[in-house]
Amino acid sequence: MKACVFDAYGTLFDVAAAARVCAAEPGREAFAASWMALAETWRQKQLSYTWLRAVTDEHVDFWTVTGDALDYSLEAHQLGGDPELRERLMRLYFELEAYPEAADVLQTLKARGLALAILSNGEPKMLRAAADNAGLSPLLDDILTVESVGVYKPHRRVYELATKRFTCAPSEILFISSNGWDVSGAAGFGFHAVWVNRRGEPVDRLPHRPAEILNDLSALPELAARLES
């Protein structure tokens, strides 16, 4: 393995953190009652909008998709009349919390000489801000985004960004994502694809399956060491 390449949202960064942090702020009692449901709707619409835009070849950046998904979610949960709430939730996406084990895992992999990168649907400024906020930026060799190819994952052109960046074959990349559809796409491209199945979900019925399934990122250094031996 030459590199470990990570999806960002849901894999390194907790996508529910924006709504959770917002709900805990003073004066947000009404939002606190529905933040979990809104966060779930927001995420699902965010993903579905990327797929639909990829299929229809109508690309916009992930910041726009995230805003569109939030607008739908706020209306769906009867919260659409609060522009200040919308602004706060969007702003918090630049400050998403990393999962507790993420920094230590990346540090261990880095110390073993593996190159580390993010490969994400995210907009570059969003990703850099989140990585800086979580203290992950010094550990990363690069942040690769779909904006350089103009189509969302799981299109093959996105995964190809990693092989070009590290000048290697797909089989030399350990790819890690919490999204089953992303793992399937990456496996089909030829990556050694690892699914971080934090929610204990069934494997997606898609053409390609994960090579490994983990509960979180903690076991990744051990897995990488085994693959290198």
Residues serving a catalytic function are: 7
**Cβ pair 121, 144 in contact under 8 A:** no
Strand residue runs (E) in the chain:
3-6, 115-120, 142-145, 173-177, 192-196, 212-214
DSSP state of 27: T
12 vs 47, 87, 218, CA distance in Å? Answer: 16, 23, 12
Query: 216: Cβ–Cβ under 8 A, 6 or more apart, which residues?
Result: 99, 101, 196, 198
